[in-house]
Amino acid sequence: MTTATTVKTEYEAIIGLETHCQLSTNTKIFSNSSTAFGSDPNTNIDPVCMGLPGVLPVLNEKVLEYAVKAGLALNCQIAKYSKFDRKQYFYPDLPKNYQISQYDLPIAEHGWLEIELVDAEGNPIRKRIGITRLHMEEDAGKLVHAGSDRLSGSSYSLVDYNRAGIPLVEIVSEPDLRSGVEAAEYAEELRRIVRYLGVSDGNMEQGSLRCDVNISVRPVGREEFGTKVEIKNMNSFSAIQRAIDYEIERQIAAIEAGDRIIQETRLWQEGAQCTSSMRVKEGSSDYRYFPEPDLAPIEVSNEQLEQWRSELPELPAQKRHHYESELGLSPYDARVLTEDRSIAEYFETAIASGANAKAAANWITQDIAAHLNKQKLTISQIGLTPTNLADIITRIETGKISNAQAKQKLPDLLSGISPEKAFAGLELITDPSVLEPIVDEVIAANSKELEKYRNGNTNLKGFFVGQVLKKTDKRADPKLTNELVEKKLNA
């Protein structure tokens, strides 16, 4: 959960995000070429995505399913009738010289998602961000600039068409965001949702999730928006926040200096931590949209829509609310546990197997998470099953083992060793008649420390407890040991 921030009180930033999300289908949107990332250049191509004469596109049904599910998860109205359009979009890496997209009849509109922030006092804030539309489209290829040139930085460019025809959904937010913090949180929540759905991996470093920011600044109280600037080239959530914060300050400074803000596209320069002008921004008329003649319109039946709706999982925000209100977890624990669907499912299986919710949350968010981060693993790759985690927690709560013993054996448990085998012969000594003679023996063997204790150095109680634990290979029940040691020392 992120702390909310504000700009100068006399100005207000108006921010909206356009997010391109690559869908996790095996093949491209209109052809059978692979969508695998990292293949050799120009190996995942075919006549359709290359725009060769005499070929026709055919919509990948999985793309439609994923787009509809994403729209439903974002509380959108799903269009019973939609269509594809041609967007005249000339770039060297777009073979057809047009992009197949959706313009006036997108697959989904009028939705929202909820973001969670905290104010300066640490109080939670929930804010609903509107979703204007979600539409399907194909991606362009990629230019690779190489060589060395004193003026331009590169002497030639190579083109890789592997990305041409990759299926995308573009998700356009309403201008409801007011700061870089809010925008970054919106983008993170959007990624959580598409990952939960399984429709996208959301990897920004591979280009599977790309956010463009539209931002303007106006004096507080004015209804009319300022001139909009688009920012591109942000490859992390922190970069989104920093780019927006910089651009807000740049636009405020320009307004106060009497300069004119022009509608343009700017690039975020990560090294310099600033934005720079790229080109004057095009309007929709520049793209000369018209209906795609080679693709039939799309009609989604009520039966199909309800089938896809029934397949939606519980989403991150719903889980967070459930964990806090019904399981009594803190907002922090709820957020960490719901960050990844597999972790949430692991946690819920442990609860269903009898684990205490708070204890399970502590183990997963602390000790297990530390192991995952260190080894760069996912929770599905460890040998400790959620059922065995519940067994460990139950053993601790019933006094069969101590928390320290469980943590000591955690590496073995994570490798797949069962609790029965890991804790064989390590059950805690909870019988006072067994433990009392050991305490007597320890006290008798440390007469000097006993004298110091009885002369006022009561901190030495921990020494005696430690000696008992050492003598029993940590099998002595810590609570009972403390009680017996204190009783004997004060006798």
pLDDT for the residue 284:
61
Report pLDDT digits (tens) over 468-488: 888 887 788 888 899 898 888
Tens of pLDDT along 34-78? 999 999 999 999 999 999 999 999 999 999 999 999 999 999 999
102: buried, middle or exposed (CB in 10 Å: 19+, 13-18, 0-12)?
Answer: buried
Determine the average pLDDT of the residues in 332-340.
95
DSSP-assigned states of every residue in 337-386: HHSSHHHHHHHHHHHHTT--HHHHHHIIIIIIHHHHHHHT--GGGSS--H
163 or 453, higher pLDDT: 163
Provide the token pair at 37. 């990332």
Query: For position 5, what pLDDT does the model report?
Result: 56
The reported pLDDT for the residue numbered 6 is: 52
The residue behind tokens 């922090």 is 332
pTM: 0.86
Give DSSP secondary structure letters for 418-429.
Answer: -HHHHTTT---B
What CA–CA distance (Å, rounded) separates 238 from 119? 19
- Whether the per-residue pLDDT at 413 is higher than 80: the answer is yes
Q: Is the pLDDT of residue 186 over 80?
A: yes
Nearest alpha-carbon partner for 73 in 112, 23, 110: 112
What are 192-244's pLDDT values in tens digits?
999 999 999 999 989 899 999 999 999 998 989 999 999 998 989 999 999 99
DSSP-derived letter for residue 287 is G
> pLDDT, tens digit, for every residue of 296-321?
999 999 999 999 999 999 999 999 99
All structural domains of the chain, each given as residue ranges with its CATH number in brackets, are 2-304 (no CATH), 314-422 (no CATH), 432-489 (1.10.10.410)
Sequence-distant (6+) residues with CB within 8 A of 390 are 350, 351, 353, 354, 355, 360
Q: Evaluate whether 324 touches 316 at the Cβ level (below 8 Å).
A: no
pLDDT beyond 70 at 152: no
pLDDT band with cut points at 50, 70 and 90 for residue 118: confident
* pLDDT at position 53: 92
Q: What angle do CA 307, 312, 313 make, to 5 degrees?
A: 150
Print the SS3 string covering 166-221: CEEEEEEECCCECCHHHHHHHHHHHHHHHHHHCCCCCCHHHCCEEEEEEEEEEECC
> In a 3-state reduction of DSSP, which class is residue 268?
strand
Quick check: 2 pLDDT over 70?
no
Phi-psi region of 13 (alpha: psi -120 to 50; beta: other; left: phi over 0): beta
pLDDT at 4 over 60: no
Q: Which position has the token pair 């949430």?
A: 344
Percent pLDDT > 90 in the chain is: 72
Give the residue from 180, 207, 138, 141 showing the smallest Cα distance to 4: 180
Q: 15-24, 77-86, 356-365, 396-405: which range is least confident on average?
A: 396-405
Closest CA to 418 of 400, 378, 399, 391: 391
Percent of the chain's residues with pLDDT above 70: 97
List the one residue out of 291, 303, 217 whose CA is nearest residue 260.
217
pLDDT at 32 exceeding the cut of 60? yes
Write out pLDDT tens, residues 81-113: 999 999 998 877 888 889 999 999 999 999 999
Nearest Cα neighbor of 305 from 75, 61, 63, 72 is 72
What pLDDT was estimated at residue 151?
60
Please answer whether residues 406 and 428 qualify as being in contact, where contact means their C-beta atoms are separated by less than 8 angstroms: no
Query: Residue 162 has what pLDDT?
Result: 95
Position 292 pLDDT exceeds 80: yes
Mean confidence (pLDDT) of the chain: 92
Of all helices (H) and strands (E), which one includes residue 112?
A: strand 108-118
